């Protein structure tokens, strides 16, 4: 059925899809500058170091995730054979749709940004594993990826406390 999907108006090229898988060999480094969108980074396998704007360094192992805000520079270096899945959240998130902005924003008052990560739980891991299956089958339908991104954001709201989400999304919520 791939031939039918490729001609569909919602089919996207690999560079345009919302979820991307990257495999790293030990020591491999990925760097991007001034990324135009916010993304969630999930470590599926191995260990990585993420540097954000040369100020924040975060070591992350399997089953953890973090956010990289739009208009920032970052580098990801594998400290062992690793695999990540990135979810493109776009330039902004409709917090009211997913997280009740009015609840999260006050939780950022008088807090410093710490480039936080969260452990992924069984529900998040299952969704990421399923997304990997879709990527391996080259299912690059824009509508499908949008639905999976919505599912991911809803699962974050279900699985994590408002305090955890406020710390994770701090750079998007903080108006300073």
pLDDT tens across the length of the chain (176 residues): 555 555 555 555 545 679 999 999 999 999 999 999 999 999 999 999 999 987 778 899 999 999 999 999 999 999 999 999 999 998 777 777 776 667 888 888 888 888 889 999 999 999 999 999 999 988 888 888 889 999 999 999 999 999 999 999 998 887 55
Rg of the chain over all Cα atoms, to the nearest angstrom: 16
> How many residues are given for the chain?
176
Q: What is the pLDDT, as a whole number, of residue 20?
A: 93
Give CB contacts under 8 A, 24+ apart, made by 156-162: 156/98, 156/99, 156/124, 157/98, 157/99, 158/123, 159/121, 159/123, 159/124, 160/118, 162/99, 162/100, 162/103, 162/104, 162/107
Burial of 31 (0-12, 13-18, 19+ CB in 10 A): exposed
Within 8 A by CB and 6+ apart from 161, the residues are: none
Q: What are phi and psi of 138, to 5 degrees?
A: 60, 40
d(CA 130, CA 125): 9
d(CA 163, CA 104): 7
pTM of the full structure? 0.88
How many helices and strands in the chain, by DSSP H and E? 7, 9
Tokens found for residue 4: 């039918």
pLDDT at 30: 92
């Amino acid at each position: 059925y791939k031939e039918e999907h490729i001609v569909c108006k919602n089919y996207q090229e690999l560079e345009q899809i919302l979820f991307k898988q990257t495999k790293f060999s030990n020591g491999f480094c990925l760097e991007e500058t001034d990324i135009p969108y916010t993304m969630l980074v999930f470590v599926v396998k191995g260990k990585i170091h993420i540097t954000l704007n040369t100020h924040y360094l975060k070591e992350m192992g399997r089953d953890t995730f973090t956010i990289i805000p739009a208009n920032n520079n970052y580098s990801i270096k594998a400290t062992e054979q690793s695999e990540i899945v990135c979810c493109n959240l776009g330039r902004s998130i409709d917090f009211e749709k997913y997280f009740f902005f009015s609840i999260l924003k006050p939780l950022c008052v008088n807090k410093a940004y710490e480039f936080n990560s969260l452990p992924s739980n069984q529900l998040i891991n299952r969704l990421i594993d399923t997304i990997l299956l879709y990527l391996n089958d080259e299912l690059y339908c824009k509508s499908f990826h949008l639905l999976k991104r919505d599912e991911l954001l809803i699962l974050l709201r279900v699985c994590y406390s408002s305090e955890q989400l406020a710390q994770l999304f701090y750079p998007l919520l903080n108006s300073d």
